[in-house]
Amino acid sequence: MTQPSSHRAEPDRVAPAQAVCELTPTQVLAVDDERSLAAHTQWIEGSAGERLGKSRLLLSGLYCAACAGTIEEALRRVEGVGLAEVNGAAQRAVVVWDPLRTRMSDLIAAVRAAGYGAFPDTGAQAVAAAARESRQAVWRLFVAAFCMMQVMMYATPAYLADAADIGADVNQLLRWASWVLSVPVVLFASGPFLKGAWRSLRQRRIGMDVPVALGILVTFVASSIATFDPTGLVGSDVYFDSLTMFVSFLLAARWLESRAKQRAAQSLDAVMRRLPDVVERLDAGGRSSWVSPAELQLGDRLRVHAGQAFAADGEVEQGRTQVDEAVLTGESRPVDRGVGDEVAAGSLNLGSPVLMRVTRLGAQTRYQRIVALVERALTERPSFILSADRIAGPFLWGVLGLAAAAYGVWSWIDPTRALWVAVSVLIVTCPCALSLGAPVALIAAAGELARRGVLVQRLDALEVLTRVGDLVFDKTGTLSEDRLTLAQKVWLAGDEPQRLQWEGVARGLGAQSSHPLARALAQGLGAADTAAAGWTELQEESGRGMQGRCDRPGVGGLWRLGSALWCGADEAEQGDRPAVWLAHQEDRRWQPVLRCEFDEALRPDAAAGVAALKSAGLNVHLLSGDQPAAVLAMARRLGLSEGQARSRCTPQDKLAAVDALQTQGRVVAMVGDGINDAPVLARSDVSIAMGSAAALAQARADVIVLSNRISDLGLLHGMAQRTLRVIRQNLTWALLYNLAGVPLALIGWLPPWLAGIGMAASSLLVVGNALRLTRSPATHPVIPSVAVVPHTA
């Protein structure tokens, strides 16, 4: 890797030398190694042409909404970081950084210096980090629970017997024993709360751990003073039982929350963990060696075993097998692949071992493009969550103020109860449930949809989808199959020799177009040998067709391949079937010479899918650039009226149609697949692209339906409604909990241990409610996990 240049000292930047001290030299070398970076970093080009890294980091220690903002701020202070996005629910970060100005070790050290854990987001690291964090959480919970049981045993006599019956010496001995057992609970088991509070205060922020840590410390200190000096200012009452019980319940809740958040994100993780850790590569002599996928090069020959995922795109050279491409298409039925067939990275070999030759690697593979979409889903923080983050600080300051006021009032009413009333207020008002309810629900919904072959790029779209009243479809490649067949050639001029030459012209223009009809024409006319040879001034106009100048003998001049009007044809000659026209410019006029008609098939579930969407209350519209007869025939097959279908639509016409609906106050979703759909996809309230769509259309889309099933749009709409319903339930519960708990704490009816149970129970309730989204009926195939293949040579 290129060594970073010397870093200039800046007042608002983290000095790398200072940050790296958090890592050992061995760790620095390991995380900065090129091969290590390849597993979680994509190299992209910046706006000025510079080489930038886009890396995924796995985080730990995030327990509240403010944590994500703290980590983002710490990363952005590192010189050379251009972008940092953190999703607390998914425990992930995506960082764009300049390798000439910083290193991966600097980024990890900056996060650790802020008090959180950070690791390269690779499969092995993720599993190891999750296991390590789970072991630590279980160990802390064990210590707190064991000590709590002992403390409760020592506190029981004080509740069941009079002080005179116990005796002063025995009572003091029990208090000392409770104090000794409470020390490890505070110093060890409460570590996450105390560290989180210290991190927040050091960053000059106030997080949700601050009131919790304050309640723990105040309770322990006051009880310790009462133990050492029962006649002192705080009185003689001790709360070691409440303290240990409170910590135990909170730790149990956090452990269960962590498990639940991992479960919510595991479907998205499964998409990103499809590539094998090692692959078997064959050299020119047929000798094999096991290497990392990061070491592969174009042209390498690989042996892919049964049960193993393909590490790169390639072509089968030997053998025949069945391949599961669910991660790419959402379709769980395996497909046959033999010699000469293409196989895709991330797909799973289900049959027998095959030999393949690598043709595409890294960012060029479709799998990596899908991973990039999943990254966006895992790191995005929707606007309403950002709004909640912004009010979290003032809310927590209000909590501290309310606790102080409660202490002051109760010091006047009953000084012996003032302390634990203030602690109860601190604990019961901690907005953990409020901060968890929406993010976990969104991640759970996105994960479940990903299992069904639907990728959500913008989580905000799920909320907007619940308000959508109009669903606009493009026709070709969306409602119809993207593979059309050439049905008829109608010659309008020329003799047999000329027509043979003109076929070559049509084949050459069609092969260089991105429109499905043009591609089908090139395929139907045969292989386009040297398609680009002899062509200049090529230009494709969205909604019209392809134009270019041919320099070949006998067919020189300007040619067009596209719609009837654009090619100067008489619309009366247009039949019911989709067609493209070939025209030659003569005397500044376009002379059509060929009309090619195609058979267009509906997607198998298109009619049923549109009917389901209509029954769900959506107004379905069809906009197409095709001729009226073809569009109306399609509309009739879908059960749409003439008023719901429009033909001869240019991209500007589609944009105007969506604008007209939005002007009426309608919320519009657009489903498209072509380059010409990109503007209207960007304009619509929710944009949806099919899995077979052009890359530009997918880049503009909020949701990508990898399965290409129209019925999955109904699944998406239903999941969006369920998700919003769950979020509303969670927020309503959190609000009701606080409305009930705060008054009870203020009037002294809610002791600290019961407040801890209430806070823990409310957090578990909203997380458990969110996880209901992962239990959708299995009406569609899901993406299976990848089998582990031994890598012994």
Q: Which amino acid is at 732?
A: T
Q: Which two tokens stand for residue 392?
A: 């979290």
**Residues 123/125/126/127 CA torsion (nearest 10 deg):** 90
Helix or strand (DSSP H, E) at 290: strand 288-291
- Does residue 313 have an active-site annotation? no
d(C-alpha 41, C-alpha 491), whole Å: 54
Q: Which residues of 374-402 are buried (b: 16+ CB within 10 A; e: fewer)?
A: bbbbbbbbbeebeebbeebbeebeebbeb
Residue (of 322, 440, 347) closest to 706 by Cα position: 347
- Enumerate the H helices of 273-365 as residue ranges: 326-329
Alpha helices by DSSP H, listed for 564-666, are 606-615, 628-638, 651-663
Query: Which of 269, 300, 313, 474 does the annotation list as catalytic?
Result: 474
Considering only CA atoms, give the Rg of the chain: 32
Look up residue 97 and give its two tokens: 């950084």
Yes or no: say if 617 and 542 are a contact pair by the CB < 8 Å rule: no
Question: Positive or negative CA dihedral for 118, 703, 654, 596?
Answer: positive
Extract the tokens encoding 460.
Answer: 């905000």
Burial classification of residue 588, based on how many CB atoms lie within 10 Å of its CB (0-12 exposed, 13-18 middle, 19 or more buried): exposed
Nearest partner of 55 among 44, 40, 66, judged by Cα: 40
Measured distance CA(128)–CA(105) in Å, rounded: 19
Contact 773, 719 (CB under 8 A): yes
Q: Is 204 left (phi over 0), alpha (psi -120 to 50) or beta?
A: left
The H or E element containing residue 760 is helix 752-771
Give whole-number Cα distances, 253 to 88, 249, 465, 758, in Å.
17, 6, 32, 11
Angle at 382 between CA 377 and CA 387, to 5 degrees: 155
CA distance 639 to 469: 18
The bridge status of strand 703-705 relative to strand 686-690 is parallel
Between CA 541 and CA 478 the distance in angstroms is 20
Please tell me the distance from the alpha carbon of residue 327 to that of residue 348, in angstroms, as a whole number.
Answer: 9
Active site residues: 474
